[in-house]
Chains A and B, each alone.
Chain A
Amino acid sequence: GESVGLHLPTLSVQEGDNSIINCAYSNSASDYFIWYKQESGKGPQFIIDIRSNMDKRQGQRVTVLLNKTVKHLSLQIAATQPGDSAVYFCAEGQGAQKLVFGQGTRLTINP
């Protein structure tokens, strides 16, 4: 079936460095993608989204890149801070339909 997955289950970076979290999706019909951050014991927190008619979108310290040719999504976090430590999920959807979540990547920021 269709799935959304991640290349790496864990990622460690030094505080202040940039981090890149990757996501692969297989449903070519998906036209909406979201990145969520989840801290331990809490619900997911919206970070940034992107539609399929775009290939890049920037937020505060975060950038999402979408490569529809290879069905790849990435989240770049600039100048990482200790508070960025969390599990990051990508999710895909088709318009207003339900979202399918990837397995998550645990990001650890080392002091």
Chain B
Amino acid sequence: GAVVSQHPSRVICKSGTSVKIECRSLDFQATTMFWYRQFPKQSLMLMATSNEGSKATYEQGVEKDKFLINHASLTLSTLTVTSAHPEDSSFYICSAKIGGEKLFFGSGTQLSVL
């Protein structure tokens, strides 16, 4: 069964609003989670590394003020897309590391900004 749960699976919002995406690790504690972004027919691009109890580490070119990451507990990380615009429309995926290296992914969130 799934070890990483991501919600919602699909969200449509108006331009200028904020959207929160949740990523939960099931039955295990994840001190580190990762957030990816994927455009159609493209690969996964790492946006940031979410660390429990500390600030997230963002990849070059990712706006930390626009993509807010909170990892307040060992089983939950959230990604908030603030003041979303149509160009933020994408497939967002979270993952958590198990056993040191193996990554398990959530089911993804399709964000559509109108």
Mark out the residues of chain A between 30 and 48 whose CB falls within 8 Å of any chain B CB in the assembled complex: 32, 34, 36, 41-46
Let me know if B103 and A34 touch, CB within 8 A.
yes
A42-B107, A43-B6, A43-B93 known; A101-B43 Cβ under 8 A: yes
Query: Which residues 74-111 of B sit at the A interface, judged by CB distance below 8 A?
Result: 91, 93, 95, 97, 100-108, 110
- CB-based A-B contact count at 8 angstroms: 49
CB atoms of B49 and A43 under 8 A apart: no
Closest to B34 in A: A98
The smallest C-beta distance from B100 to any residue of chain A, in angstroms, reads 5
Q: Is A103 an interface residue (CB 8 A)?
A: yes
A residues adjacent to B (C-beta < 8 A): 32, 34, 36, 41-46, 49, 89, 93, 95-96, 98-104
Task: Name 8 A/B residue pairs within 8 A (Cβ), A-sorted.
Answer: A32-B101, A41-B108, A43-B105, A44-B105, A46-B102, A46-B103, A98-B46, A98-B49
